[in-house]
Amino acid sequence: MFTKKQMQRQVPGAPDFTWAELTASTVVRRLGVANAPGPDQVMRLGHICASLAQPARDALGPIAVSSGFRCPGLNKAVGGAADSAHLYGAALDMVPRKVAVGRLFAWLAANAADWDQIIWEQDSLGRQWVHASLWPFGERHNRRHLLKKDPRNGGRRIELDAAEQQRLLMEKRAHGMDYGQLA
């Protein structure tokens, strides 16, 4: 368990992120549960931050983490999947501050070396974020699923077909720059 001082430390390999940012939750404070990652979750959080979140933040500017690690009580309270990657420290929900959510989604799809899922999500109130999950090499197979979730289709996650994935890559190449420059 982290001490208060340790929570403010930077994540190794991701200097713009702190452990506090990856475990913060208003729901945790309301419920009074400890949202403390163990050593395996800490390792996975560091891996996803260094591999996906920090490069995206470097390219696109400030990105807030709205959900990182979730203890079982928090995951249940927010309606998370029973086997959510958040429980294992292998997922982040991110909201960019200077570019549209779609830019973050497209940037990750075009620039991340690997991922399990990248999901452009939207809730019934219109709030949007990108859920990204990544497993360290050898733990689980990263499926490289690109998905969209929209309340207008009943909240189902729709996988992008190969043509849409190719369109994302072609758009990046046509502009001759990364999405951080298109803000």
pLDDT of residue 182: 34
Which pLDDT score is estimated for 88? 97
- For residue 86, CA distances in Å to 44, 60, 95, 151 come to 10, 23, 16, 21
The confidence score (pLDDT) of residue 168 equals: 61
Count CB neighbours of 180 within 10 A: 20
Q: Rounded to the nearest 5°, which phi and psi values hold at 24?
A: -70, 145
Whether pTM exceeds 0.85? no
Mean pLDDT, each 10-residue run in order, the chain (183 residues): 57 85 86 88 94 96 94 93 96 96 92 92 89 92 86 61 62 48 34
Q: What share of the chain is helix, strand, coil (3-state, %, to 5)?
A: 45, 20, 35
pLDDT of residue 149: 80
**Strands of the sheet with 91-96, listed across from one edge:** 63-67, 91-96, 128-133, 117-122, 145-149, 157-159
- What pLDDT, on the 0 to 100 scale, is given for residue 180? 39
